[in-house]
Structure 1
Amino acid sequence: MDIRDAEYVVAVADHGSVTEAARALFIAQPSLSQAIRTLERDLGVELFDRGGRKLRITPAGMSFAHAARQVLADVERARAVVHDVAELRSGTLTIAVLNSLAADPLPRLIGRFHQQFPRVLLSTVSADVPDRVGRAVRSGECDLGLTELLVDNQGLEFRLVGEQEIVLALHADLAIELPDPVSVDLLADIPMIVEIGSRPRLPVNNIAVECAHRQSMWELVVQGAGATLLPRRVAEQELPGVVVRSLTPPEVRTIGLVHRPDPVPPAAAAFIAALDGDHGASESRKARPAGDSRASS
Structure 2
Amino acid sequence: MDSRQLRYFLAVVEHGSVTRAAEVLFVAQPALSQSLRGLESELGVELFRRVPRGMELTDAGVALLGPARQVMQSSQHADNVVRGIATLEQGWLDVASPPDLAVEPLVSLVARFRARYPGVWVNLIDPGPNADVESLLRNARCEVGVDYLPADDDKLSTYGLGRRRLLLGLPPEASRTQSVNFPIDGLADLPLVAGPRGTAVRDEVERVCAERGFTPRVVVEVEHEHNVYLLVAAGAGAAFLTEPEARRSERRGVRVVRTEPELGHDFGLVFRSGPLSPAARAFVTLATAARTDVIREPPPDERDR
TM-score, normalized by length of structure 2?
A: 0.81
1:16 aligns with 2:16: yes
- From 261, 267, 271, the equivalent of 1:255 is 267
Q: Distance in 2 between matches of 1:175 and 1:20?
A: 93
Q: 1:90 to 1:175 in 2, by over 3 A?
A: farther
Other-structure match for 1:264: 276
- From 232, 236, 240, the equivalent of 1:229 is 240
Question: The residue matched to 1:262 in structure 2 has which SS?
Answer: coil
Q: Which amino acid aligns with 1:270?
A: A
Other-structure match for 2:120: 120
> Does the 8 A contact of 1:93 with 1:121 survive in 2?
yes
Other-structure match for 1:105: 105
Other-structure match for 1:139: 139
Deviations 1:37-86 (A, max 9, x none): 12111221111011444310111112222211111111111111112222
Q: Which amino acid aligns with 1:84?
A: G
Q: Distance in 1 between matches of 2:97 and 2:236?
A: 28
Number of residue pairs matched by the alignment: 283
TM-fit CA distance, 1:167: 1.5
Bigger drift between 187-196 and 37-46 goes to: 187-196
TM-fit CA distance, 1:141: 0.9
- From 228, 248, 256, the equivalent of 1:217 is 228
Other-structure match for 1:38: 38
Other-structure match for 1:292: none
Q: Which amino acid aligns with 1:232?
A: E
Q: Distance in 2 between matches of 1:115 and 1:228?
A: 37
TM-fit CA distance, 1:117: 2.2
> Does the 8 A contact of 1:98 with 1:129 survive in 2?
no
Question: The residue matched to 2:126 in structure 1 has which SS?
Answer: strand
- From 255, 278, 285, the equivalent of 2:290 is 278
Deviations 1:246-271 (A, max 9, x none): 22222231111111111111111111
Question: The residue matched to 1:160 in structure 2 has which SS?
Answer: strand
1:206 aligns with 2:217: yes
> Does the 8 A contact of 2:151 with 2:270 survive in 1?
no
Task: Give unpaired runs (5+ residues) of structure 2.
Answer: 207-214, 296-305
Question: The residue matched to 2:268 in structure 1 has which SS?
Answer: strand
Question: The residue matched to 1:38 in structure 2 has which SS?
Answer: helix
Q: 1:39 to 1:81 in 2, by over 3 A?
A: same
Bigger drift between 223-232 and 13-22 goes to: 223-232
Task: Give unpaired runs (5+ residues) of structure 1.
Answer: 287-297
> Does the 8 A contact of 2:229 with 2:241 survive in 1?
no
Identity %: 34
Q: Distance in 2 between matches of 1:238 and 1:276?
A: 31
Q: Which amino acid aligns with 1:235?
A: A
Q: Distance in 2 between matches of 1:129 and 1:138?
A: 17
Other-structure match for 1:79: 79
Other-structure match for 2:57: 57
Q: Which amino acid aligns with 2:33?
A: S
CA-atom RMSD, angstroms? 2.7
Q: Distance in 2 between matches of 1:285 and 1:190?
A: 35
Q: Distance in 1 between matches of 2:151 and 2:31?
A: 62
Q: Distance in 2 between matches of 1:151 and 1:60?
A: 63
Question: The residue matched to 2:164 in structure 1 has which SS?
Answer: strand
Question: The residue matched to 1:50 in structure 2 has which SS?
Answer: strand
Q: Distance in 1 between matches of 2:128 and 2:66?
A: 54
Other-structure match for 2:209: none
Q: Distance in 2 between matches of 1:141 and 1:35?
A: 44
> Does the 8 A contact of 2:12 with 2:21 survive in 1?
yes
